[in-house]
Amino acid sequence: MIRLTIFTFFLFFSITSHAQTSAHTKEDSQAIINLINTYTKSRDTKDTVLLKQILTKDIDQLVSSGVWRSGINEAIKGMMESSASNPGERTLHVERIRFLAETVALVDARYEIKNPDGSVRKMWSSFMVVESDKKWRISAIRNMLPSSGN
């Protein structure tokens, strides 16, 4: 009987603990998805003002060619150059959000560029996002081009 009581207590505690955080996580998850969609929009429209609003000043980015971009000015310059030299329709589909802390999350997304010739370049992107002043911003981006075996 004591074991059943202890088991019931821990079961109840784990269910209520999860219920308390899931509403917060769902709201934050949607805000993060909106952030990634805003990032895609700002890249498509070459909106550097919008990019400055959604990136942290110390952002760093590793692109699939192996080039590092450090700081907001270098990152935005590189993004604009990349969009110009690699035209195509860019889409990001968020696959997973993993909260590492209350104000830090890792976002994994499928990244596709539909080229003007109709071919599609399929990659992965990971975003480190941080919350400050109740607003999520992108702090780091990692792009990867999977090997042909994947």
* Number of separate domains in the chain: 1
Which amino acid, 96? Answer: R
Question: CA-CA distance, 127 to 100, in Å (whole number)?
Answer: 12
Q: Is residue 24 part of a domain?
A: no
Residue 125 inside a domain? The answer is: yes
Summarised one tens digit per residue, pLDDT across range 12-64 is: 444 444 444 455 679 999 999 999 999 999 998 999 999 999 999 999 999 98
pLDDT digits (tens, 9 = 90+) for 27-41: 999 999 999 999 999
Q: Which helix (H) or strand (E) holds 47?
A: none
105 in any annotated domain: yes
Output the domain CATH number for residue 74: 3.10.450.50
Q: How far apart are CA 110 and CA 41, in angstroms?
A: 16
